[in-house]
Chains A and B, each alone.
Chain A
Amino acid sequence: MARYGQPIVSWISCSNYNQNRYCSSPNALLRKFHKQGDDPYEKKLLLSACLALVIAAPAFAANPQPDEKLADNQNLNYWLLDAIKTKDPQLNSAVEGSDVARQLFEGLYNQNYAGELVPGVATDYEVSEDQTVYTFHLRPEAKWSNGEPVTAEDFVFAWQRLADPATGSTYAWYEELMNVKNASAIVAGEVDPSELGVKAVDDHTFEVTLGSPIPYFIKMTTHTSTFPVNRAVVEEFGDQWTLPENMVGNGAYKLVEDKLGQDLTLERNENYWDNDNTVIETIHFQAINDKNAALTRYLAGELDRIELPSGQFPRLKEEYPDQTHAVPRSCTYAYLFNVSEKGPEALKDVRVRKALSYALNRDIIVDNITRGGQKPAYSWTYYATADFQPPVTDYSQWSQEERNEKAVELLKEAGYDKSNPLELTLSYNTSDDHKKIAIAAQQFWKAIGVNVTLNNTEWKVYLDNLKNYNFDIGRYAWCGDYDEASTYLDYFRSGGMNYGGFDDPDYDAVMKASLTAEDPSADYDKAEQILAEEMPLAPIYFYSTPVMVPADVKGLPVDNVLQNWYAKDIYRVAD
């Protein structure tokens, strides 16, 4: 299996997930963007966030191996949990909507399996000396599904449309993030959209001027909100231009039928420039709101990719080992210890925190409770994170018996034993899964002589309690906003989110050093070691998403956390 790749960009999709957790909203990012420069950390966050946006994608064009024979049936049935709200690239704001838009339209650049850029409509580009003017050369053979050529003017129109407040795009901020000249002023309604820093030099030369240089700008052009749209069609049909009878796209597929809320049918676009290398004939996007129903339909052979209902993974993995996969998902589940002023006295003692962390039997939690391919966590940073391997912490190498012994010993040193038991409260927000894990933790801690009371509240109340340091031990999960260790490690800076109130000058110093380091992984390593030593949290498990994909479908990202997929790269092989 390939190296676990880049975790998913979660901050767009986070509302889809039922695990309650913090997600940075686009607005939060944008605020940071405006403030950028005041605080080096802010800048870093932004930079990496944008990198994450563009990382991930399968190979470029379907690429069957010589020993593979293509199947006669080249239809793909892709499952959607919810019907997509719009196919309009500039209006869409959902991950599933992007999955559809990526087949119907094509932007300047695409991505290959490793997340590297590969040419889309643009064949290459040049950058000016001062890094602010990008000139893209568009391939002359690129055509709309109605046969007209795709021109630089189409990009100009789409990019202006994205920023134009009259479009009412909830993704207008993306263009501000790209730092296209005048984008912010246009979004704020101060400047006419025609002032946007984009220009059609000629039919096949598209020029973008940035407000100031952004090194990762080029990677941002794979995002669906920057995809071109056909001006004539949009202007003629207004809101209704995305209906199948009106829509014109430039992607490898065209929309032929839209049964609202049920089934979206795409067929290959004969006018697509790389149509010769496309294999899949028809794509059905089928909306089924129930994961169990989707599983049934999958087993009946009516769907080609599903996410599994919770608890079903082990059984299905055993029955269908070649179809069932646990796809890594960059999130870490943990218990935070309240080490702030307002926290309990006992938790200020590192020995107590260590004892509590050691006593948690993570193997039991992932094997018997979560059961979806999750991995036990002994570090805060997700195990599959680009350019950084979380260090092997000492206690991860011990057996559970050794950990328990050590825990009892530490508690005794701290002055707690059976005659003088430690009393604490474990808080979590409403969810069956959190509850099960909390009950297990209660038992693990009871074994080392710690009495823990469970406290369950609704998410909003719970979050308020966390923010106000109104808890002893609190359940928490963090998902990477971008694929870089700092998305995790920044959390425990004294100025970070840091709900437990952890404040360690060494930690802050290490994180600060990482900003200017050529290779920050040594600093990240130190930071993880400090976390293991000070234990402001007990990491519990690393997330994964259990999926099923038929063995004959090739090119869909399975071994990787990739979320961006292109149907033109997919093919089915004969048995």
Chain B
Amino acid sequence: MPPQVLANINAKYGLDQALWKQLLDYVWGIVSRFDFGPSFVYPDQTVNSIIAQGFPVTLTYGLLSAIVAVLIGVTLGVVAAVRHNSWIDSLAVGISVGAQVLPNFVMAPILVLVFTLWLRWLPGGGWEGLGHPAYMVMPVIALSTSYMASIARITRSSMLEVLNSNHIRTAKAKGLPMRRVVMRHALKPSLLPVISYLGPAFVGMITGSVVIDMYFSTGGIGKFFVESALNRDYAVMMGITILLGALTIAFNLFVDILYAWIDPKIRY
């Protein structure tokens, strides 16, 4: 590249400044204007605009996956614990173990094979926004399965423990129907470990969306995360890292607050 052209490109991105100045400008931009600077690879994009495009997508299927994982996982876990050692228990454990050992990069192609190539029900990839749920089905299933399995196992073991505790024995002795015992007295305490698991798990669903974005071309933030590393787009890399770090902190805080609400015994 001609030196003059290189000099101009450097000047444009501020790379001709002293290193301390570059750092100061960068940090000041974030603190004062929440501006992570321009992308080094896409001339017409800034880090903020890339995140603004990718993050809503990731958040949408991440939230949906979390909801699916919690609903199915908790249900499976509770049913398995209540019908301990029955065929229902074995089935639920079987499902959760099966789901656990299938990582999303295996799930994704299998889903596409079945739903896209054989049944022709769902599109094999892409993302058309909230109005098009068909594009969300497979990403959500692929992303939520293993989390669902973990939640089911955690719920089951904690529920078994709670069902053997004193207050449940009292509730049963009062003659409360089993349904009432579970819903009213056992469920809330047995969800504590699930909630502590969910905080990091939700961040994991967003960072772990790399495979989903790559395989289903959903255009979420995971793709930009990987791509920025490969392209040495440092500004984007930093921006997404900071975003994910902030999310991790936020969710852990949220979980701690939730804890206190569920179990008033816990005080910080």
Contacts and interface: CB of A to CB of B under 8 A. Distances in A.
B4 A165 contact: yes
Contacts of B124: 296-297, 300, 302
B116 A300 contact: yes
Interface in A169-211: 169-170, 172-173, 187-189
Decide if the interface of chain B is mainly helix, strand, loop or mixed: helix
B37 interface: no
Contacts of A256: none
Contacts of B217: 262-263, 286-288, 293, 297
Interface in A21-61: 27
A50 B50 CA distance: 37
A91 B224 CA distance: 21
Contacts of A172: 2, 5
A261 interface: yes
Contact of B5 (A165, A241, A287): A165
A260 B217 CA distance: 11
A514 interface: no
A292 B215 CA distance: 9
Contacts of A243: 44
B218 interface: yes
B43 A187 contact: no
B5 A170 contact: yes
A166 interface: yes
Interface residues of B, number: 37
A187 B42 contact: no
A260 B54 contact: yes
Interface stretch (B7-15, B85-93, B150-158): B7-15
B227 A261 contact: yes
B180 to A, nearest CB: 49
Contact of A300 (B2, B117, B224): B117
Interface string B108-120: 0100110011001
Interface string A229-264: 000000000011111000000000000000111110
B151 to A, nearest CB: 28
Interface string B1-43: 1111101110010000000000000000000000000100111
A455 interface: no
Given A288-B217, A302-B123, A260 B45 contact: yes
B245 to A, nearest CB: 22
A315 interface: no
A172 B5 CA distance: 8
B255 interface: no
B56 to A, nearest CB: 12
B127 interface: yes
A296 B117 contact: yes
Interface string B53-79: 110000000000000000000000000
Interface in A255-276: 259-263
A270 B73 CA distance: 53
Nearest to B126: A263
A127 interface: no
Interface string A286-319: 1111101100110110100000000000000000
Contacts of B1: 27, 170, 173
Interface string A58-102: 000000000000000000000000010111100100000000000
Interface in B90-134: 109, 112-113, 116-117, 120, 123-127
Most buried by A among B5, B8, B214, B227: B5
A86 B39 CA distance: 12
Contact of B215 (A168, A261, A290): A290
B44 A239 contact: yes
Contact of B8 (A165, A241, A287, A297): A165
Contacts of A260: 42, 45, 50, 53-54, 219, 224
B26 to A, nearest CB: 19
A212 to B, nearest CB: 20
A241 B227 contact: no
Contacts of A240: 44
Nearest to A292: B109
A27 B217 CA distance: 35
A91 B50 CA distance: 20
A168 B8 contact: yes
Contacts of A165: 2, 4-5, 7-8
Nearest to A284: B126
B126 A241 contact: no
Contacts of B54: 260-261
Contacts of A287: 217
Nearest to B5: A165
A261 B9 contact: no
Contacts of A286: 126, 217
Given A187-B2, A296-B117, A239 B43 contact: yes
Which 6 A/B pairs are nearest by Cβ-Cβ distance?
A: A262-B219, A189-B4, A165-B4, A168-B9, A300-B124, A300-B116
Given A165-B7, A187-B4, A239-B44, 10 more contacts: A83-B227, A85-B43, A172-B5, A187-B5, A189-B2, A241-B44, A260-B45, A260-B219, A289-B223, A302-B124
11 contacts: A85-B43, A165-B2, A167-B8, A187-B4, A187-B5, A188-B2, A188-B3, A260-B54, A262-B127, A289-B214, A302-B124
Interface of A: 27, 83, 85-88, 91, 165-170, 172-173, 187-189, 239-243, 259-263, 286-290, 292-293, 296-297, 299-300, 302
